[in-house]
Structure 1
Amino acid sequence: MRVTERQQLLSQYFFECRCQACCDELESDVKSVVSLRNSFCCPSCRASMQGEETLCCSNEACAVSVSRESLSRRLWDLQQQIKKALELLRDRKADQAIKMLLKCQVDARSFLSPEHLLMGEMEDHLAQVYATQGKWQDAARHLERSIEIVEKHHGPSSVEMGHELFKLAQILFNGFAVSEALSTIQRAEEILSVHCGPQSTQIQELQEMKTCLLELPRSILQRT
């Protein structure tokens, strides 16, 4: 592969994935998120909250109780802030988007379970913002946290996991993290070939990335 072709391939892979599964995840509404069991945590001791209309802390030593409605409103407000952060990203105001998303994370940690899907979505969005800035290590770190949550909800061999690994492979590829990218590509291929078929577009792109990485000069491969 010529240098110009390699550079073109490197620039081709950008973080954002528009597959149906990813679009569905990004557009998940408040109801689907609220329905998760133990999705809220105690604002005082961080233990899980239990109950229906009135939620009580599962920690017997803690007497905190709060209405589900109030936490649902708080969750809705949080999602609106996340949408504003994504609007900032679309307006190419990446630094402001990062600042708002980090603030949303602080708020979320005070009342949402660490495994809440929205926690994973915020990590995913932060990865996207850092990717637009070319900060591949930061992007990979946040996406790896998102993947941990996706795996707990959907399983290690789920199509959702495959799509997240596909995005991580793109980030590692762009950051020339060769060994990490190759291992991630292999994991993504194994999962997506089952769910999407060996001839799917994503599988073909993963194979192209792998070929490109393996054709890099040996001096680069030895440094990674």
Structure 2
Amino acid sequence: MVLCERRRLLQEQYHFLCICQACSLEQEEGPEGGGGGAATGAGPDTHLQCGKCKGPLKQCSVDGAGWCVCVRSSCGHRVSRSELDLRLQEVRVQLEQAVDLLETDRPDQSVRLLQRAVSQAGVFLKETHSLQGQLADAMARAYSTMGEWQGAASQLERSVVAISSQYGEDSIELGRQLFKLAQLHFNG
């Protein structure tokens, strides 16, 4: 598998961004080495958004370096793929820390950390990105731990958007989220 596909699958299945030596070397080689980004002219990534205008980003390669460029001609903002990967990793670390706080019965601290992560992710990730769904799901869990059923339900509704986009309208994953949402409404 090429690097971007391998990393995407590891993120979706195991919730981490691989930065092992092999992946890092392959990323440095760029698309010619079968790694880093998509080829020039690749279509827009429907889950990434421009930090300036919120338009979709398109992955491309410039002089062997991976970039994401806003598809809106009026904007043209670009950001390096490595910077986006770093931002994603920071948000994932915050998510992991927040889940750890939840597991040690500190939901209020978890909510604060998750709110910060959601704010950071909202700059470059659309609501349909799987990480947005994971953040919303963790936030719903924290709110439900505190007995704030309405807050939990609204967060779980955000998660449903990402799950639906990722797995489809007829998926078992979406069914599970909707079942959790029904339980929250019942408890509320």
The CA deviation at 1:26 is 7.8
Q: Which residue of 1 aligns with 2:124?
A: 111
What are the residue-to-residue correspondences of 1:71-82 with 2, within 5 Å? 71-82=84-95
SS in 1 for 2:45: coil
Q: Whose strand proportion is higher, 1 or 2?
A: 2
Letter in 1 for 2:117: C
Distance 1:94 1:83 in 2: 13
Q: Which residue of 1 aligns with 2:68?
A: 55
Q: Given that residues 45 and 56 in structure 2 are in contact (C-alpha distance below 8 angstroms), is that contact kept between their aligned partners in structure 1?
A: no
Q: Which residue of 1 aligns with 2:148?
A: 135
After superposition, give the CA deviation of every residue in 1:147-190 in whole Å (9 maximum; x if it has no partner): 12211222222111111112112222222xxxxxxxxxxxxxxx
The CA deviation at 1:111 is 1.1
The share of aligned pairs that are identical, in percent, is 33
> Of the candidates 171, 182, 185, which is equivalent to residue 184 of structure 2?
171
What are the residue-to-residue correspondences of 1:74-93 with 2, within 5 Å? 74-93=87-106
Q: Which residue of 1 aligns with 2:7?
A: none
The CA deviation at 1:105 is 0.7
Letter in 1 for 2:165: K
Q: Which residue of 2 aligns with 1:145?
A: 158
Letter in 2 for 1:28: H
What are the residue-to-residue correspondences of 1:1-224 with 2, within 5 Å? 27-30=14-17, 37-52=45-60, 53-175=66-188
TM-score of the aligned structures, taking structure 1 as reference length = 0.61
Distance 1:79 1:155 in 2: 23
Q: Cα RMSD (Å) of the superposition?
A: 2.3
Letter in 2 for 1:65: R
The CA deviation at 1:27 is 3.7
Letter in 1 for 2:187: N
After superposition, give the CA deviation of every residue in 1:83-118 in whole Å (9 maximum; x if it has no partner): 111111111111111011011111001111221111
Structure 1 residues 82, 160: closer, same or farther in 2, change over 3 A? same
The CA deviation at 1:37 is 3.1
Letter in 1 for 2:80: S
Q: Given that residues 26 and 121 in structure 1 are in contact (C-alpha distance below 8 angstroms), is that contact kept between their aligned partners in structure 2?
A: no
Letter in 1 for 2:143: Y
Q: Structure 2 unaligned segments of length 5 or more: list them.
A: 1-10, 19-36, 39-43, 61-65
TM-score of the aligned structures, taking structure 2 as reference length = 0.72
The CA deviation at 1:80 is 0.4
Q: Which is bigger in relative contact order (C-alpha 8 A, separation at least 6)?
A: 1
Distance 1:108 1:125 in 2: 14
Q: Structure 1 unaligned segments of length 5 or more: list them.
A: 1-23, 176-224
Which protein is bigger by CA-based radius of gyration?
1
